[in-house]
Amino acid sequence: MPHPNVRRVVAAATEQGLDVEIREFPDGTRTAAEAAAAIGVEVGQIVKSLIFGHGPDLVVALVSGANQLDESKLSAVAGGAAVERVDADRVRAGTGYPIGGVPPFGHAQPLDTYLDEDLLGYDEVWAAAGTWNHVFAIAPQRLVEVSGATVAPLAR
């Protein structure tokens, strides 16, 4: 029986007409480097789902594992107000998932989402599926569609 978080990710994908194949890695995929090594792909193919406060709201930055997020670029595309890091409790409250397992869609509440344009350079990228141990593959353009993301230059 899959983890409840994984079931929610699969259900959210299905609602978007997306059929995802979940892969489990018992040793975990908490970092982009760990995920890339476990899956056998380039670190740039890993989607980091980063959650930031934007005033009273949260925003999601989907960033290539090879890149560091430029918070000023995220602030600019999100409307100009500064973004700020938030704690694990706020991440879980807003997304329904723990840090390290936040998927790119299917959150507990609707969140504005921004996707690092560098992810579009790959045929396939890999994202968290609700836990530190579960991931799934998706074409980057399909990820833009199902997450409702705005594509932007987000890398430092």
CA distances from 153 to 31, 98, 119, 130, 136 (A): 22, 26, 10, 26, 24
Total count of domains within the chain = 1
Other CB atoms closer than 10 Å to residue 122's CB: what's the count? 17
**Helix, strand or coil, per DSSP, at residue 87:** coil
Residue 26 has pLDDT above 90, yes or no: no
Q: Determine the structural domain holding residue 117 and report its residue range.
A: 4-152
Higher pLDDT, 7 or 81: 7
CATH code, domain with 35:
3.90.960.10
Task: Report pTM.
Answer: 0.96
- Over range 56-70, report the average pLDDT: 97
CA distances from 8 to 22, 129, 154 (A): 12, 9, 28
Distance of CA 106 to the CA centre of its chain: 10
